[in-house]
Amino acid sequence: MSPALRARCFAANQAGSVSQGLFSLQNRLYLLGAIASLSLLAGCGAANTVGHQLLGLGSGGGDSSGTVASVFGYAVADEPQAAIVGRNILNNGGNAVDAAAAMGFAQAVTLPSRGGLGGGGACLIKMPNSSGKMQPPVMLNFPAGAPGATGGDRPAAVPLLARGLLAMQARYGQLPQSAVIVPAERLAGGAQVSQALEADLQVVGNALLADPNAAAIFAPGGQMLAEGALFQQPDLVTTLENLRVGGVNGLYAGANATNFAQAADAAGGGLTAQDLINATPKYGMPETTRQNGYDVASLPLATSGAGEALPASASFMALDKNGGAVICVTSMNNLFGTGRIAPGTGVLLAASPRTDPTPNLAAAMAYTTGGNAFRAAASGTGQNEADEAAQIGLANALTGQNVPVPAPGRANIISCPGGVPGGEASCSASAAPGGNGLAIGGR
């Protein structure tokens, strides 16, 4: 980018509004740096997009800068750099599934505490068929599951995040598979620590220092990374490159599966190559209800013992110009999983569900009966309060109310009172207040 064009991009971004002062000046600066580092778009299109809907409170209007006209669509994620990746994918011809898959891989890099490649999750997917007719929603489950046998001094879950995202993109996406992995690969080479990641690092404290591989990433020089710091994961670059080149086989088959299992075992995970080969995502039907005159599809809730503290989770979602919508929720079965990285892979290992409770993966989507037009989507995080957060978030979207979500529950929302397709100008999106995420989009 030339100095003159860079200056125009910066000026266009400065014209964008930052909602309610929720982002610090430092955080806004790191977002601009992240945008500049993601070279998916020519010129400064990605940078200009941020001005519309930082934290999702724009009106859905178009790009006032006149530099690059973006397509309609929204991307929301619990980590801002991941949301920017999703919006870039929409701008470059991707649909909601392409955007969600790219956000999932990106957030695995920038928020591995809650959604790393070593973990898993679930998605609600509602997309048109090849003839353009909108289809009912489906559910895709890819949990970080238990290995075939017990073993290891820090038992790890079988990683399914990458396999789930690739399965979803292969069935519903319209971009080349590599397009949804390249942004994450670049971020692994050098991203910046967001408020979201810093907050999780502060919770865990020095526990990560016990593993030299984790310490080298999260606390280089012995001091925990702070917001705005450069965050580099060279081994993760190689793992993502293997996935980009080899697809599922880049991690889950042959020598790659054997090598990863050996690395996980060296970190006390107790995984085998057969665990990776056997672990597959599964499609199914979501739970369906009626609410405020709309059909609502939801992810089924995990059951847990009374008073049991559930693991942390993270979410991301996308809506495209055709009304295609995806909501995904991920977890490491424990904040930062086992706290150990499989040597040479850069992958933070999730905790085995044999040793930790099942996370509450909460998401719901409302749509019109018959026509199946998109109306609203909400994801919920906040451990035991995740389901309540998603329910309140969706109810607020459908009724226009603003009922507070009880802490620590958080809800990310996309709402289109006029429905999509057809009522694109009615849409808005929001990231949970205090959650340090980002909602971005409109037209």
pLDDT band at 54 (very low <50, low <70, confident <90, very high): very low
Q: Quickly state the pLDDT bin for 86 (edges 50, 70, 90).
A: very high
Task: Please give the average per-residue pLDDT across 424-431, as a whole number.
Answer: 96
Specify the pLDDT at position 229.
97
pLDDT in tens, 341-391: 999 999 999 999 988 788 999 999 999 988 789 999 999 999 999 999 999
Please check the confidence at residue 184 and state whether its pLDDT lies above 60: yes
- What percent of the chain shows pLDDT beyond 90? 76
Residue 277: pLDDT above 50?
yes
| pLDDT at residue 65 in the model | 25
Q: Summarize the confidence of residues 413-438 as an average pLDDT.
A: 95
Is the predicted pLDDT of residue 434 greater than 60, yes or no?
yes
* Pick from 129-133, 139-143, 286-290: least confident: 129-133
- Model pLDDT, residue 372: 86
What does the pLDDT read at residue 305? Answer: 56
State whether the Cα torsion 284-313-86-374 is positive or negative.
positive
Q: Based on the structure, what is the number of domains in the chain?
A: 1
pLDDT at 98 over 50: yes
Sorting pLDDT into bands at 50, 70 and 90, what band is 146? very high
Given 3-state DSSP classes, what are the helix, strand and coil percentages for the chain, each rounded to the nearest 5? 40, 20, 40
pLDDT tens for each residue of 58-84: 223 333 222 243 799 999 999 999 999
- Cβ neighbours around 381 below 10 Å, total: 30
- Which of 20-24, 89-93, 384-388 is predicted with the least confidence, judged by mean pLDDT? 20-24
Digit-coded pLDDT (tens) for 258-270: 999 999 999 999 9
- pLDDT value of residue 306: 59
pLDDT of residue 154: 93
> Has residue 93 got a pLDDT over 60?
yes
Q: Which of 68-72, 93-97, 309-313, 395-399 has the lowest mean pLDDT?
A: 68-72
User: Cis peptide leading into 80, omega within 30 of 0?
Assistant: no
SS3 of residue 191 by DSSP: strand
Highest mean pLDDT of the ranges 57-61, 66-70, 102-106, 430-434: 102-106
What 417-422 contacts at long range (C-beta under 8 Å, 24+ apart), as own/partner pairs, is 417/375, 419/323, 419/368, 419/371, 419/373, 419/374, 419/375, 420/319, 420/321, 420/322, 420/323, 420/373, 420/374, 421/321, 421/322, 421/323, 421/373, 422/373
Residue owning tokens 């789930």 = 164
Question: 4-18, 275-289, 299-313 — which is least confidently predicted?
Answer: 4-18
- State the pLDDT at residue 303: 65
Task: Write the single-letter amino acid at 419.
Answer: G
Asked whether residue 5 carries a pLDDT value surpassing 70, the answer given is no
User: In this predicted model, which residue has the larger pLDDT, 131 or 275?
Assistant: 275
pLDDT digits (tens, 9 = 90+) for 244-257: 999 999 999 999 99
Q: Residue 119's domain spans which residues?
A: 3-442
The pLDDT confidence band at residue 35, using thresholds 50, 70 and 90, is very low
pLDDT at 110: 98
**27's tokens:** 């955080």
Kindly give, in sequence order, each residue whose CB lies less than 8 Å from that of residue 424, ignoring residues fewer than 6 positions away.
60, 72, 321, 416, 418, 443
How far is 324 from 101, CA to CA, in rounded Å? 13
